[in-house]
Structure 1
Amino acid sequence: MEDTKINSNKKRLVIGMSGASGAILGIEILEILREHSEWETHLVISKGSEETIAEETNYKLEDVMELADKAYSIKDIGASIASGTFKTEGMIIVPCSMKTVAGIACGYSDNLLLRAADVIIKEKRKLVLVARECPLSTIHLRNMLSLSELGVIIMPPMVSYYNKPVDINDLNNHIIGKILDRFGIEVSGFNRWGESDV
Structure 2
Amino acid sequence: MVVGISGASGFIYGVRLLQLLGELDIESHLIISRAALLTMAHETDYKLADIIALASHYHRADDVAAGIASGSFRCLGMVVAPCSMRTLAEIATGASSGLIGRAADVTLKERRTLVLMARETPLTLAHLRNMTAVTEMGAIIAPPVPAFYARPDNLAQMVDHSLGRVLDLFGLDAGTATRWREPPGPCGSWLASDSNRSVGITGE
Please state if 1:97 is matched with 2:84: yes
After superposition, residues 2-151 of structure 1 pair within 5 angstroms as 13-37=1-25, 39-151=26-138
- For 1:71, the aligned partner's letter is Y
- For 1:34, the aligned partner's letter is G
Q: Distance in 2 between matches of 1:61 and 1:126?
A: 27
Max radius of gyration: which structure? 2
Q: Distance in 2 between matches of 1:22 and 1:95?
A: 6
TM-score (norm 2): 0.88
Q: Which residue number corresponds to residue 7 of structure 1? A: none
Q: Distance in 2 between matches of 1:109 and 1:18?
A: 13
1:66 Cα deviation (Å)?
1.2
Please state if 1:195 is matched with 2:182: yes
Contact 2:24/2:174 (<8 A) preserved? no
Q: Distance in 2 between matches of 1:125 and 1:187?
A: 20
1:160 Cα deviation (Å)?
1.3
Q: Structure 1 residue runs of 4+, over 6 Å off?
A: none
Q: Distance in 1 between matches of 2:137 and 2:64?
A: 23
Root-mean-square deviation (Å):
1.0
What SS does the corresponding residue of 1:33 show, helix, strand or coil? helix
1:188 Cα deviation (Å)?
2.8
Q: Distance in 2 between matches of 1:84 and 1:58?
A: 35
Where does the alignment leave 5 or more consecutive residues of structure 2 unmatched?
185-190, 192-204
How many residue pairs get aligned? The number is: 185
Write out per-residue CA displacement over residues 91-146 of structure 1, whole angstroms, 9 at most, x where no aligned residue: 00000000000000000112111100000011111000000001010000000001
Q: Distance in 2 between matches of 1:144 and 1:54?
A: 28
- For 2:113, the aligned partner's letter is K
Q: Distance in 2 between matches of 1:170 and 1:196?
A: 17
Q: Distance in 1 between matches of 2:110 and 2:176?
A: 33
Q: Distance in 2 between matches of 1:94 and 1:172?
A: 11
1:159 Cα deviation (Å)?
1.6
Q: Which moved more, 1:177-186 or 1:121-130?
A: 177-186
- For 1:157, the aligned partner's letter is P
Contact 2:63/2:99 (<8 A) preserved? yes
